[in-house]
Structure 1
Amino acid sequence: MEEKKHINPKSGQLLISEPFLQDENFVRSVVLLCECNENGSFGLVLNKLSILRIKDLLDDLEFLDMDVFVGGPVEQNTLHFIYWGDAVIEGSVELTKDLYWGGNFEEFIMKYKAGQINLDHFRFFIGYSGWSSGQLEEELAEKTWIICEDIDAEAIFSSAPDDLWRVALRNMGGDFQVLANYPIDPRLN
């Protein structure tokens, strides 16, 4: 009997769904892991655009006409954000070089109104992706996800949502470049 290799996911990594994953919440998804500990893992799907805008979600924010992404199927009544560049918001968590998660939302609004925020460097999410203790490790052992440790923060924000899955795989190089071109339904090829 073959022993399973133990895989330790970490904050700041990307989870890229394998090409055959059929879960409608995660087909061709790229998930940014924001927190991993003994209690489980928390992440945000980076490439699933919702039909909502920030101004539609929060009262008094009609000036924020930005896209909102679906961070995952869990608690879709919650709002999260990430940004890249310099740490500009108090309470932000640095996930990897120049990529931050969360922080003081009131400070974000204040700095935006003062012209100190570049909205192109921010992305907002409703809901999140969550795994209980050991669940993500099991999915990784089953090869449901490909881990990308070398994140290109700028590519996350500059790539079209529909292209991010392919871009992330191509950036990993090697055999992953071949996967990037794999059709969603190979029978249609």
Structure 2
Amino acid sequence: MTADSASINLTHHFLIAMPGLEDETFSKSVVYVCEHTERGALGLVINKVSDLSMRGLFEKVDLDLNRPDLIDAPVLQGGPVHTERGFVLHDAMLANPDPELTDEESALNAVSKHDAIYASTMRIPGGLEMTTSKDVLEALSAGHGPRRVLVSLGYSSWGEGQLESELAENSWLTVPADTAVIFETPVAQRYERAMGLLGLQSWMLSSQVGHA
């Protein structure tokens, strides 16, 4: 993959930080790219934890959390922009799901029908959504909501041409995203698992170029 801004689109890809990227926020990070257009890119770091658990976050917003599977899950540091705001990455949700469809089929249906059920949701090709409105937290509080959820404080963004420049400087490896790395892999293992999608391990990176 080249860094040609006329053709590159890394939406629903992982950015994997190369060893030379020593920025405090992005060193050894894996970023899930939610949107990438000619105007820039937006994503969430998926392997840096904050000092809050989901239980603590819900206490701060005066909600109970009736999802035992999420109570002890960490809230992540999604990036340096708007770190006071929550960003919820989750499976796509249908207002009226078809019970005969698999989760993956339902997610793709939600994207194609453009009928996300939360007030402020970005639909991401690949079957995920990112929601910034409180209603998704309220659904989780009631014991419902998306089956798979990642909550971060803050997000990461790049202006026009900025990400392409960083790719040209070999700051990042890129690979199509695997949602199992986001939702089903322990945070501490996500960097190695993301690199594994390229057949790499971290000790191999010093001599590798930054494109996949």
TM-score tier by shorter-chain length is 0.7 to 0.9
| RMSD over equivalenced CA pairs, Å | 2.7
CA apart distance, 1:93: 3.0
What is the letter of the counterpart of residue 6 of structure 1? Answer: D
Flag structure 2 segments of 5+ consecutive residues without an equivalent.
92-102, 111-115, 207-212
Give every structure 1 segment of 4 or more consecutive aligned residues whose post-TM-superposition deviation is greater than 4 Å: none
Relative distance call for 1:89 and 1:148 in structure 2 (3 A) is farther
Q: Residue by residue, what CA displacement relative to the aligned partner does 1:27-49 show, whole Å, maximum 9, x if unpaired?
A: 11110111223332211100001
Alignment partner for residue 143 of structure 2, among 86, 102, 115?
Answer: 115
Whole-angstrom distance in 1 between the partners of 2:154 and 2:132: 16
What is the letter of the counterpart of residue 81 of structure 2? Answer: V
Q: Tell me the SS of whatever aligns to 2:76.
A: strand
User: Partner residue of 1:82?
Assistant: 89
2:25, 2:80 within 8 Å by CA — same for their partners in 1? yes
2:53, 2:74 within 8 Å by CA — same for their partners in 1? yes
1:16, 1:31 within 8 Å by CA — same for their partners in 2? yes
What is the letter of the counterpart of residue 35 of structure 1? Answer: E
User: Partner residue of 2:4?
Assistant: 6
Matched residues, number? 174
Whole-angstrom distance in 2 between the partners of 1:17 and 1:47: 11
Q: Residue by residue, what CA displacement relative to the aligned partner does 1:59-103 show, whole Å, maximum 9, x if unpaired?
A: 212437442100011221111010135457435333243322226
1:182 equivalenced with 2:203 (yes/no): yes
Whole-angstrom distance in 1 between the partners of 2:39 and 2:178: 28
1:161 equivalenced with 2:187 (yes/no): yes
User: Partner residue of 1:170?
Assistant: 196
Q: Tell me the SS of whatever aligns to 2:140.
A: helix
1:138 equivalenced with 2:140 (yes/no): no
1:73, 1:129 within 8 Å by CA — same for their partners in 2? yes
CA apart distance, 1:159: 1.2
Flag structure 1 segments of 5+ consecutive residues without an equivalent.
none
1:73 equivalenced with 2:80 (yes/no): yes
